[in-house]
Amino acid sequence: MSEFEKILSTVFSVGTLQQMLRSATPVALAAIGGSMTEHAGIMNIGMDGMILMGAFFGVLGSFLGQSALAGLGLALLIGVLVGLFFALLVVRYKSDEFIIGCALNTFALGLTSYLSRSVFGNNGTKGNPALPALHLPFLSKIPILGPMLNDQSLFVYLTWIVVLLAWLFVYKTPYGLWLRASGEKPDTLRTAGISPKRMQWIASLLCGILCALAGAHLSLGQLSGTFAENMSNSRGYIAFACVIFAAAHPGKAYLAALMFGFFEAIGLRLQSYVSADLTNTIPYLITIIMMVYVVARKQQRKKKLARA
Amino acid sequence: MKNNEAVIRFEHVSMQFPGVLANDDVSLEIRRGEVFALIGENGAGKSTLMNILYGIQTPSSGEVWIKGKRVEQYDPRIVIEQGVGMVHQHFMLVPSFTVAQNIVLSREPRKHKIFFDNAAAEAAARKLEAEYGLTVPETEAVEDISVGLQQRVEILKALYRGAEILILDEPTAVLTPQETEELFSVIRRVVRDKGMTVIIITHKLDEVMAISDRVGVMRKGRLVGIHETKDVDAAKLASLMVGRPVIFDELIRSGEPGATALRVEHLQVSDHRGLPAVRDLSLELRAGEILGIAAIEGNGQSELIEAITGMIPVRSGRVTVLGREVTGLEPGEIRAAGLAHVPEDRLATGISGLATVADNLLIGRQREPRFNRFGIQQNRKAIRDYAQEVYQRYDIRGAGVDSLAGDMSGGNMQKVVIAREFSFDTPVLVISQPTRGVDVGAIEFIHSRIMEKRNQGAAILLSSADLDEVFRLSDRIITLFEGEITGTFRAGEISKEDVGLYMTGSKRQGGQEA
Amino acid sequence: MIKQKINTGYLISLGVSVLLAFLVGAVILLCTGHSPLKAYGAMLSGAFSAPRHVGDVLEYAMVLGLCGLACDLGSRVGIFNVGGEGQLLIGALTAAQVGVALDGASAWVVIPLAAMAAIASAGLYALIPGVLKVKLKVNEVITTIMLNTVAASLCQFMAKGPWKSSNRTLIAATERLNADYWFGGLLRGSKLSTAIFAAAAIAFVVWYVMQKTTPGYEMKLTGQNPRFARFSGLRIDRKIILCMTVSGAMCGLVGMFRVYGAEHLFKPGVSNDYYFEGLMVAMIARYQPLATILLSLFFAVLKIGAEGLQQVGVPNQIYLIIQTVIIFFMAAQGGFLEQLSHSRNLNSIRSSKKGGA
């Protein structure tokens, strides 16, 4: 086997794909939430804070109620509250969404670290009731796909459902039309008798919930009931990049999250060849190139229209 | 099926905005099956009154009745239910949605209760198209279709929502004459065949005469008269709109035209959508003359002026100022070559509302040594003195040179722009809409300043939507239609009526060059 | 972006916001079983009880202030530099490596070269989003956020790989700088160094240019209404790109100051989202340079003071909570007041109606 083939077989191994799926899931959940706010015309960079809140309160709920479901419940409740708080400031009080997003990230970092140390002490918490991975016997019979998909956290499968539901919601229901109109041309909606602000409230709420789920997945699923300070680790920003990359299309956002997951996974696996730090930059650079491409294509289309 | 039943009744409606009484005790009845024209100058309160009717704004006092029912809650949804539809001046369409999606938005056909039924939406659109004879490409995105078609989509949208009363806000401002004619035939058809009631807001008097049964005139928030259209003429309406028969003092002209100062050769310009707006246009402007452009909005005059002044790129052709080619240069370089510019949209282009009046008067001269210490530090005292002097010379009235320009009235804001641009003392001036939204007193002042510049030997290119203004100031007039010159006239050699024929392209001088 | 002036109303709302934020902090402290009075007392003594604390306050105020001013500079011409964090890291890394590579040369050679390297690398790094914004209208907020992560990864890579320190206990760091190149310490035990004089000079120049000069006036008009600025003959594209580049260069210099003044080597920890904190200070200061500098001092006191909280057993992150709550209040108050006056108007209309009837 040549060196090149070795690299190839490492890159496209079941382990890589499993890892890709694992890394992509929380990012994808948040990115779908971010797609909602993006469609509603809100540039939401506060997702990192939203994820962190979900992660911490998931563990806190699990610790207090001694059950993973209690953790999930508390995380969801916090997701609702954070989403409503975000909407209160951005939609109702018309604050700059960027300022609020920035501040929300820092606020979440401060609050969760503070509470974690106050409740659990300086060493944090470990081993609270966690969400188990699902083992589906029928899957293990299928080659490659089977092991790749099996024994994953419940959230991995949940995310697929969320992607499907979000896609249906945005593109196949009247509410999705209203959501997109509220971001693209709110006055159109207002003069049709539908409040664009209501759609923005709903989008923020959904985003809060989905980001909290992403956080709960991190702490209750992946790290089996452990909270670590700043454990969102910029996933909110990655999710934001996915939203931009996918032009807020939930399906494409999931694919973008898979791309980020893929590069993270091969980064870990190819460490002896190339630093993970370098492979990590690739998705961000692709996102920037994508943005430039979108602009260039728009200009080209304009030219075409002019010629016709 | 005309009768005198009132479908809409305004009773003592007033609308107070901070600092402005937009509607002042307006009472008005609109009858079923009529075309009612509501006219007035910019800021007379027409749009506010219609926004109240449409439920977008809640009046400060007074009542509105629709089909015999008092409006309890000002909410577009309720008003739409009662059969009122509105086509806004700025279209309320989502650019990325298809035509059909825009038509059904907010009342979408559904399948399985929660899903949007796109096929049914397109079918509904087609059905309406057939019923009213208004064809639109229902599967195309709105951003890809022409403005005229977009307006049709707006009308279909209102009809889809079951409108019996249709409000059209400045519907012809963006239309070509053909499109206007088509729109009017649609209006006539829906009124005749469907018994609809149409309210049309406009300030174009010929259109009022052509389409309406009755006309209401608004001035400074008040409804000052309601007439049967057949009982009035355009001149009567004009004098009602401005409050008194407008008789300005005769402006004194002196001097003879001199050498050519601005030359435009075979100019081609595209509009912001990339479509051709100015087609192979050539003109010459001489020192000491005012060349007026008479054109209906959207016939290339804006693009012509922005291309000459460097605000937008030129596709081909040449622009020469005082013998120096300036094609494709930046606005600052063209100003330095000797051309100052009063832009048509003063808020967007002519001032910075967030800066002080002094800062707005200074820009363009800020690098002059007298305004700088050590070559870099602003000499605030010298700047203030200069601004103060200009402020007085141009009779600007407001809260002083240190107040924000954005807080001024339209007329004074315009004086700030004119004061700054005129004080560059350039040989060429390009002036667009010098008195739009400006009160009568300020109009007189601005006109005499323009004439003074002319008499001092400036070459002035003037564009105005106000035909009277073009006639009053110009030495020569050119008419533009669809980006081409259709006629050149010496002032006094042609009547407004005849100019109208050239502006609408129905007459054309052969092989025109100005 | 709200562009408002500093006036009495602003000062009042700032005061109220700060008070409310401390109140929120007190509630959180109470809920977690701490005495707010004791905690706030510990914060005060944490900032002022010893000269070295004061030194740290000043050092951190320098970082916040320069970052905040860098943000002001961009926002003045209408471009929002969110990428300062990445620019800071890039500047810190290149400056550090210049010091390592030229080891042995005179400090008079190394320090100016290091500063130039920081300015050039960070400036170029800011140039990318600037050009993309001006030439292609690509949203600079998004690109700079992306480039932050890219910069962090790149610096991490260099510090772990090619430029890694020979000291094995350090995972990601460059070689320690020769002590000859360090900025002199000003207060024993604190991070404060002579870099603060350079920082003060830069801050003065930025304030002077923005507030007092003709180019500053042109920048202001460009940011307020770019179309009008271009109409009036300003080359706005150049101005925006230049301001963005200078903003990046300033962040790069902050990185160099952190390396040569405080850390004496490059490691990713030369900045822990310091730029974001500076940016928030700039936001609270409404992008006004003088207010940015003053508020930097205030927040530096808060941050360094919070380290004193450890001694009374309170986690110091309460500082982040208080800081962001101030921002929430400041950001919301515009809309909040508007709504308040609106409902008051409605009420007065209703009551006058009733009175009239």
Task: Please tell me which residue, C74 or B193, carries the higher pLDDT value.
Answer: C74
Residue B408 phi/psi, 5° resolution? -85, 165
For position A144, what pLDDT does the model report?
Answer: 67
Q: Can you tell me the mean pLDDT for A226-245?
A: 89
- Read off the CATH number of the domain in which C124 is found: 1.10.3470
pLDDT at C63: 96
Q: Are residues B144 and B280 in the same domain?
A: no
Minimal C-alpha gap between A204 and chain B (Å)? 21
Residue B78 lies in a domain: yes
**Burial class, A123, CB count within 10 angstroms (exposed 0-12 / middle 13-18 / buried 19+):** exposed
Give pLDDT, residue C352. Answer: 43
Contacts of C279 in chain A (CB under 8 A): 102
Higher pLDDT, residue A70 or A296: A70
Minimum-distance CB partner of C214 among B330, B352, B376: B376
Are C176 and C167 spatial neighbours (Cβ–Cβ below 8 Å)? yes
Cα separation, A270 vs A9, in Å, equals 11
C26: in domain = no
Token duo for residue C87: 């620019």
Name the pLDDT band for C355 (thresholds 50, 70, 90). Answer: very low
Regarding whether B433 and B327 lie in a shared domain, the answer is yes
Min distance A191 CA to chain C CA atoms (Å): 21
Taking CB atoms and an 8 Å limit, are C233 and B364 in contact across chains? yes
**Domain final residue, candidates B242, B277, B307:** B242
Q: What does the pLDDT average to over A39-52?
A: 95
Residue of B nearest to C237 (CA): B330
Identify from A60, A90, A107 which residue to disrupt to test chain C contact, counting C C-beta atoms within 10 A and taking the largest count.
A107
Q: Both ends of chain B: CA-CA distance in Å?
A: 51
Backbone φ and ψ of C100, nearest 5°: -70, -45
- The answer to the question of residue C115 being in a domain is yes
Chain B interface includes A161 (CB < 8 A): no
Helix (H, G, I), strand (E, B) or coil at B38: strand
Asked if the Cβ–Cβ distance from B331 to C217 is below 8 Å, we say: no
Domain of C254 in residue numbering reads as: 51-304
pLDDT beneath 70: ranges in chain B: 1-4, 18-20, 42-43, 174, 176-177, 238, 242-249, 297, 439-440, 510-514
- Domain co-membership, B309 together with B355: no
pLDDT of residue A30: 96
Task: Tell me how far apart the alpha carbons of residues B77 and B68 are, in angstroms, rounded to a whole number.
Answer: 18
Query: Among B424, B446, B465, which residue terminates a domain?
Result: B424
pLDDT of residue B212: 93
Residue B474 sits in the same domain as residue B380: no
Q: What is C217-280 written as a DSSP string?
A: HHHHHHHH-HHHHHHTT--HHHHHHHHHHHHHHHHHHHHHHIIIIIISS--GGG-SSHHHHHHH
Specify if C18 maps to a domain: no
Residues B368 and B436 grouped into a single domain: no
Q: 3-class secondary structure for B300-345?
A: CHHHHHHHHCCCCCCCEEEEEECCEECCCCCHHHHHHCCEEEECCC
Burial class (CB in 10 A: 0-12, 13-18, 19+), A220: buried
Q: Are residues B506 and B371 in the same domain?
A: no
- Site of tokens 């609408």: B504
- Contacting residues of B for C233, CB less than 8 Å apart: 330-333, 335-336, 363-364
Tell me the chain A residues in contact with residue B102 when contact means C-beta distances shorter than 8 Å.
188
Inter-chain Cβ pairs, chain A and chain C, closer than 8 A = 141
Q: How far is C172 from chain A (nearest CA, A)?
A: 12
Residue C19 lies in a domain: no
- B387 and B307 share a domain? no
pLDDT at C238 over 90: yes
Q: Domain tally for chain C?
A: 1
ipTM of the complex: 0.87
Nearest Cα residue to C94 out of C110, C112, C72, C117: C117
Task: Count helices and strands (H / E) in chain A.
Answer: 13, 2
Distance between CA atoms of residues A59 and A75, nearest Å: 8
What values do phi and psi take at C51, rounded to 5? -55, -35
Query: What does pTM read for this prediction?
Result: 0.86
Q: How large is the average pLDDT for residues A228-250? A: 90
**Binding-face residues of A in 96-115 toward C, CB within 8 A:** 96, 98-100, 102-107, 109-111, 113-115
Predicted local distance difference test score (pLDDT) of residue A22: 86
Q: Which residue of B has its CA nearest to A307?
A: B275
Domain assignment present for B343: no
Question: CB contact, 8 Å: C355 with chain B?
Answer: no
B370 and B394 both lie in a single domain: yes
Q: Which domains does chain A have, with CATH numbers?
A: 3-131+147-307 (1.10.3470)
Give the separation between CA C72 and CA C282, rounded to whole angstroms: 6
Number of domains in chain B: 3
pLDDT exceeds 60 at position C351: no
pLDDT score for B501:
78
**What DSSP assignment string belongs to B4-36?**
--EEEEEEEEEEEETTEEEEEEEEEEEETT-EE
Q: What is the DSSP letter of B399?
A: S
Phi, psi torsion values for B136, nearest 5 degrees: -140, 155
Report the candidate in A177, A134, A111, A179 with the shortest Cα–Cα distance to residue A25.
Answer: A134
Secondary structure (DSSP) of B426-472: -SEEEEESTTTT--HHHHHHHHHHHHHHHHTT-EEEEE-S-HHHHHH
CB contacts < 8 A, A to B, total 73
Q: What is the pLDDT of residue B2?
A: 45
Of all residues in chain C, the percent with pLDDT exceeding 70 is 93
- Show the tokens assigned to A167: 């896609």
- B306 and B217 belong to one structural domain: no
Q: What is the pLDDT of residue B401?
A: 92
Q: How far apart are CA B8 and CA B99, in angstroms?
A: 30
State which residues form the domain around B509.
248-338+426-514
Residue B377 is nearest to which of C3, C213, C349, comparing CB atoms? C213
Residue B174 belongs to domain with CATH number: 3.40.50.300
Mean pLDDT of A56-82: 94
The chain C residue lying nearest A241, using CA atoms, is: C146
In this structure, which amino acid lies at residue B302?
S
B357 and B405 in contact (C-beta within 8 Å)?
Answer: yes
Whether residue C21 is contained in a domain is answered as no
* pLDDT, mean over chain A: 87
Residue range C249-265: mean pLDDT, rounded: 95
Task: Tell me which of B226-235, B248-257, C129-138, C185-194 is least confident.
Answer: B248-257
Instruction: Say yes or no: B224 and B118 in one domain.
Output: yes
The whole-angstrom distance between B237's CA and the closest CA on chain C is 35
* Cβ atoms within 10 Å of B345's Cβ, excluding its own: 12
Check residue B45 and give its pLDDT. 84
| Residue B266 belongs to a domain | yes
List of chain C residues whose C-beta atoms are within 8 Å of the C-beta of residue B333: 233
Domain-located, residue B1: no
Q: How far is C158 from chain A (nearest CA, A)?
A: 9
Q: Which residues in chain B have Cβ-Cβ distances shorter than 8 Å to C228?
A: 348-352
Domain limit, last residue, from B202, B222, B242: B242
Helix (H) or strand (E) holding C326: helix C318-356
Q: Which residues on chain C are in Cβ contact (under 8 Å) with B341?
A: 231
| Residues of C with Cβ-Cβ distance to B355 under 8 angstroms | 220-221, 224
Do residues B88 and B235 both lie within one domain?
yes
Residues B416 and B438 in one domain: no
Q: Do A95 and C318 touch (CB under 8 A)?
A: no
pLDDT for B419 = 95
